[in-house]
Amino acid sequence: MSFSSLVSNLTFRDSDPEDRSQFSRSRSFASTAATSVSISGDISSQLHGGYSHPLARSWQAERQLTKSMLIYPLFISDQPDEETSIPSLPNQYRRGINKIIPFLEPLIQKGLQSVILFGVPLAPGSKDAHGTAADDPQGPVIQTIRLLRARFPQLFIVADVCLCEYTSHGHCGILREDGSLNNQLSVDRISDVAISYAYAGAHCVAPSDMNDGRIRAIKLKLIEAGIAHKIVLMSYSAKFSGCLYGPFRDAAGSCPSFGDRKCYQLPPGGRGLARRAIARDIQEGADIIMVKPASSYLDIISDAKNIGKDMPVAAYQVSGEFAMIHAAAKAGVFDMKAMAFEAMEGILRAGATIVISYFTPEFLDWLSH
Ligand SMILES: [Zn+2]
């Protein structure tokens, strides 16, 4: 008796002889077919068993999302009592310093471990050509760093470092007369701002300006100041220009008054350029490299993980990505939570271990259940 007919007989023996229905025949056929695959030696074709259970499915991922991977962006205005919703960025608000603690308290109880701060000066006359307000000791970022350090000692505070929120022209540095970035002056100024945030108590400074050489300048100043050993330097290494930043610019009031940022942010097709920028920033002393945006640039995240094998890689799921998921969910395209997880899994699969995301409050709930 052949093995397949033995299986067939066993199947029939177990079934009621009065009920040799079409169902039991087809079941017999299915088991015989599966066995014949196995005995022909092609066992590797049988994959379903390995992910049949939800827990077994989660084990298929190289890394799984945890609360400690998430950094939540906060927009801090210079109007102490402000709490203004940002229409293009669902559920996100611009807040003054007096509103920050009550907002963060429940999130920290749910497991929030890190925030990234963006200052938003709104007072008339607060912007100038040099972004003087960026490191104003009475400005929203430095005041908020101090407050958060005092009230939430366990919270890891990242300070975004750029001038665009503070310059009258809205560009990410100091300009020459022809409107292009003066790299030397910009790097000098941005590295000074970074040191001010570090002195104020930020655990991590994250320059997002994309001026050449700013990582080296910041690292050297941190060393000179004697604080390099306790400050994480996270570089927006591969920050691409594009149309996914619109809601952020609404929130931060950082839209350039003329031109665009294509001469310093990376062109979307520039994979090789991104690899060079990542390699350079590692050489210049970055502790973490970041790719921004995230979901349209998964190949770049993967490149960053390859180039920076021994470094943490961060990805910024930017305002446009977040707003798109919200809009599509609202239009009935998919369930928002399912898509938020799927997008996040893609970002982690590509190689990120840190994700800056506006979905952080939701994930703190979702990951608790
Ligand atoms: Zn900027």
| pLDDT of 250 | 81
For the record, the structure tokens of 53 come out as 């259970």
**Residue 309 annotated in active site:** no
| pLDDT of 37 | 52
Residue bearing the bigger pLDDT, 21 or 222:
222
319 is an annotated ligand-binding site residue: yes
Confidence of residue 4 (pLDDT cuts 50, 70, 90): very low
Alpha-helical runs (H) found in 253-335: 271-283, 298-307, 319-330
Which is nearest to 308 in space by CA: 215, 188, 226?
A: 215
204 is an annotated ligand-binding site residue: no
Residue bearing the bigger pLDDT, 355 or 22:
355
Residues around ion ligand 1, judged by CB within 5 A, are 162, 164, 172
Please report which helix (H) or strand (E) contains residue 290, including its range. Answer: strand 288-292
Report percent pLDDT > 70 for the chain.
89
Report how far residue 135's alpha carbon sits from residue 3's, in angstroms, rounded to the nearest whole number.
79
| pLDDT of 100 | 98
As a whole number, mean pLDDT of residues 101-111 equals 98
Which is nearest to 313 in space by CA: 286, 295, 340, 339?
A: 286
As a whole number, mean pLDDT of residues 212-228 equals 98
Q: Which domains does the chain have, with CATH numbers?
A: 69-288 (3.20.20.70)
The pTM of the full predicted model, rounded to 2 decimals, is: 0.88
| Helix %, strand %, coil % of the chain (to 5) | 50, 15, 35
For the record, the structure tokens of 7 come out as 């299986």
Choosing from 292, 305, 309, 337, which is the catalytic residue?
A: 292
Mean predicted lDDT score pLDDT of the chain: 90
Spacing, Cα 227 to ligand 1 middle (Å): 25
Beta bridge mates, 354:
314
| 10 has pLDDT over 70 | no
Spacing, Cα 256 to ligand 1 middle (Å): 9
Spacing, Cα 254 to ligand 1 middle (Å): 7
| pLDDT of 13 | 43
Spacing, Cα 360 to ligand 1 middle (Å): 23
pLDDT digits (tens, 9 = 90+) for 23-46: 444 454 555 555 555 556 667 778
| pLDDT of 253 | 79
Contact, 78 vs 139, CB < 8 A? Answer: yes
| pLDDT of 20 | 47
8 is an annotated ligand-binding site residue: no
249 is an annotated ligand-binding site residue: yes
**Residue 292 annotated in active site:** yes
| pLDDT of 272 | 98
264 is an annotated ligand-binding site residue: no
Report how far residue 224's alpha carbon sits from residue 206's, in angstroms, rounded to the nearest whole number.
18
Amino acid identity for residue 332 in this structure: G
Choosing from 230, 239, 262, 337, which is the catalytic residue?
A: 239
As a whole number, mean pLDDT of residues 120-143 equals 95
pLDDT digits (tens, 9 = 90+) for 57-87: 999 999 999 999 999 999 999 999 999 999 9
pLDDT digits (tens, 9 = 90+) for 307-336: 999 999 999 999 999 999 999 999 999 999
164 is an annotated ligand-binding site residue: yes
Spacing, Cα 246 to ligand 1 middle (Å): 13
| 363 has pLDDT over 60 | yes
Spacing, Cα 261 to ligand 1 middle (Å): 9
